[in-house]
Amino acid sequence: MMNSSPARGGEAHQGWFKEKTRVRVRAYDEAGLTQREIVKKLQEERGISVNQSTISRWIKTKQNRATKPSGRPSMLIERTVRYVTRLVRQGWVGRRMTFARIVKQLQLKVSRWTLGRALQKLGYRRCIACRRPFTNSKQQEKRIRWCTFMSKCTVNFWAKVIWSDECSFVTGERGRLYVTRRVHEKFHPSCLQSIYRSGRTSFMVWGAIGWGWKSKLVFLERRHGKRGIDSYDYAEQILEESTQSPQS
């Protein structure tokens, strides 16, 4: 905390000087003193410590009376907001915490809306978590190596590649999950919702794309006597039709 000076007159807010100090600065400026000379003169004769930038602002604005900042002061100090951001970035549990839960857990004397506005100034907001299948560290490293290798392939190579994928519609799973994140943290590991496919009933569709064509969308059916859904027979049939009559 800064020591109070005679020019501050007991004001609670830092940077508030009495009106006569501002008038004296303007008088020194009209007398031809430079800003450095004004700072030195106030320090030696009046014992008042003022930055040169403050002197420059007073002379430029020609304002003698100190004005209060507009609006109501914030109920959250900067230190508290920084602590909340660290709590949010700790992992999936922190990202999932609602503003109301954070207020209750930290015993903050503000509403969830006040906390939300404070975090919004730093770029944080509540968003729907992106979903991706669960992958462990070994699988992630393997995929990175594969992508690095394939990035060196030419266009002629990719023209001969067929991409196929399946999409499942799951019944009985939980709904949308919200996380607290910034815009660039959309695919951060702690902001992603992992998908575990075991123990759920799902309906699946299959499709494929290639260079200049796409296959039909096929609804896969569970074959009698088989545990899962085998898309090999469907893929073979669709690919034969697609190669014979490519679609644009």
* pLDDT for position 137: 86
Whole-Å CA distances, 96 to 40, 51, 99, 212: 55, 46, 10, 42
d(CA 141, CA 155): 25
* Predicted model pTM: 0.41
d(CA 12, CA 79): 20
Instruction: Give yes or no for residue 5 having a pLDDT over 80.
Output: no
Beta-strand (E) ranges in the chain?
Answer: 125-128, 130-133, 163-171, 178-181, 192-195, 201-210, 213-214, 218-219
Nearest to 25 by CA among 82, 80, 70, 63: 63
Q: Where are the domains of the chain?
A: 6-61, 78-122, 130-244
More confident residue, 244 or 207: 207
Instruction: Give yes or no for residue 147 having a pLDDT over 70.
Output: yes
**CB of 28 within 8 A of CB of 41?**
yes
* pLDDT for position 13: 38
**CB of 212 within 8 A of CB of 248?**
yes
Phi-psi category of 60—alpha, beta or left, where left has phi over 0 and alpha has psi -120 to 50?
alpha
